[in-house]
A and B are shown apart, each in its own frame.
Chain A
């Protein structure tokens, strides 16, 4: 039997080495003991569930960020990349990243951010756009970030 089917370019684009690396070894993973803001994100259809912890100082700087939970490679990698990106930023700039990433992933005009940022490593998430059923996985942590910063303390659901 031929067991050597090769992944297509789309698939390689989705599971880039950077994504796989962050999925295997998520950064800033685990509960943050001293936290000022947090939010939970769930994707009920596939069972992704993560909690994002933020420590936001008086000057609105995010001085610490962690996440914990379980999910597919895309949702975990996206959350891990999020933590690397926003650590040390102002909440305002973090929300700019939120808008930019959601726009990158969905292309929805309503999410068209006022400020266009250089997304750097986050561009690795671009491949998700070709997989409509997986966009929710990639946006999950970012919606949780939005909820946490806005202090709604709500559980964010993709459904």
Chain B
């Protein structure tokens, strides 16, 4: 982002909250306190307006018609690609492939990058704290190819061990796939250090950035990752939108993921010539309105500035962690030194689902359960956690409301 846009941005954090219409409602007679952004974030007015304007004035199919609406739709859709490329500092817009979400992005890499060359004896390395979407695609790939999935351990704080991962990265490893930020624990993994080690051994690295992009500045060139994946709906954009960043040389060499319209240059029954990047990977009519919304979400984030958001959330997470730890019988799950956005916890021996219901009745929305990270829950020996997750629109008032609601839950069960 530029310093010029920073000057234009809001100066008071509470103003950010004002940009999100969904936050201004009552739930069960209480003002909504939304602490579930790690599951899905709310959308600011500029995103809602961009989608509506597109639907009302610009909708047509992209990359096809000579008529005005098709041109407008294409400009809006491709404009989002330019903005996202700038946002994560990709070296070229052709490195930004639009998908339906992080899950789709990871499956694309598994099937298109890994599967054609993977053979029995090869290895894929992941960590114990991954979301199911960064586990299951690799399990399926290993079943298809006879390769082996190797899982790097985590410690009691919820952090990976760099030296263990270093030891695992031998010549059998064909890909290292890690979360940038853990969705269940909030751990920020030391990905730059790990990527540096993987690079010296020629091992490509994929990062699941779904929980990182809304909270931290992400620079894919600085990270030097080969693939970076994230979802629109966790970064204030619409659902059904996702991004796969891939280094151009790798994407060029990969076969298409799905066949269909838009991913071709020429089709005959003798054979088909595939389209250029990134369209080779975008078969069929895309979620145009969704990506228009995602482009507006990225613009919104750039106007505020990711450093500011990161600092705001860091202070708020520290406040929330301190407040939670002062509640009797709260056990914090995920206590790594470097964390973002998320705090999982247990309240006495009350099942997280009961905690969630009692909180909801006081207007406080949190996520409860295994957070699509069942191996993490197994590691900590618990069925699930209560998880409060922050976004730029949260304030200390939200944390205070959470604490009041937890005291009420404690009273009901004591």
Contact = CB atoms under 8 A, between A and B. Distances in A.
B405 interface: yes
- Classify the interface of chain B: helix, strand, loop or mixed: helix
Nearest to B374: A47
Interface string A131-146: 1011001000000000
Given A47-B383, A74-B353, 16 more contacts: A1-B404, A3-B407, A4-B404, A4-B407, A5-B407, A7-B358, A7-B408, A7-B412, A8-B28, A11-B358, A20-B412, A45-B369, A46-B369, A47-B369, A70-B383, A74-B354
Interface in B389-414: 400, 403-405, 407-408, 411-413
Interface of B: 28-29, 350-354, 357-358, 361-362, 368-370, 377, 383-384, 400, 403-405, 407-408, 411-413
Nearest to A45: B369
A46 B368 contact: yes
Interface of A: 1-8, 10-11, 14-15, 20, 45-49, 70-74, 131, 133-134, 137
Report the 6 A-B pairs with minimum CB-CB distance, sorted nearest first: A72-B351, A72-B353, A47-B383, A3-B407, A46-B353, A5-B408
B357 A47 contact: no
Given A7-B358, A8-B29, A14-B357, A46 B408 contact: no
Contacts of A131: 357
Contacts of A2: 404
Contact of A47 (B358, B361, B362, B377): B377
Contacts of A46: 352-353, 368-369, 383-384
A137 B352 CA distance: 13
Contacts, number: 68
A154 B370 CA distance: 24
30 contacts: A1-B400, A1-B404, A3-B403, A4-B404, A5-B404, A5-B407, A5-B408, A7-B411, A7-B412, A8-B28, A8-B29, A8-B361, A10-B361, A11-B357, A11-B358, A11-B361, A15-B412, A20-B413, A45-B369, A46-B352, A46-B369, A46-B383, A47-B369, A47-B383, A71-B351, A71-B383, A72-B352, A73-B354, A74-B353, A134-B357
A137 B358 contact: no
A131 B357 CA distance: 8
A15 B369 CA distance: 19
Contacts of B405: 5
A71 B368 CA distance: 13
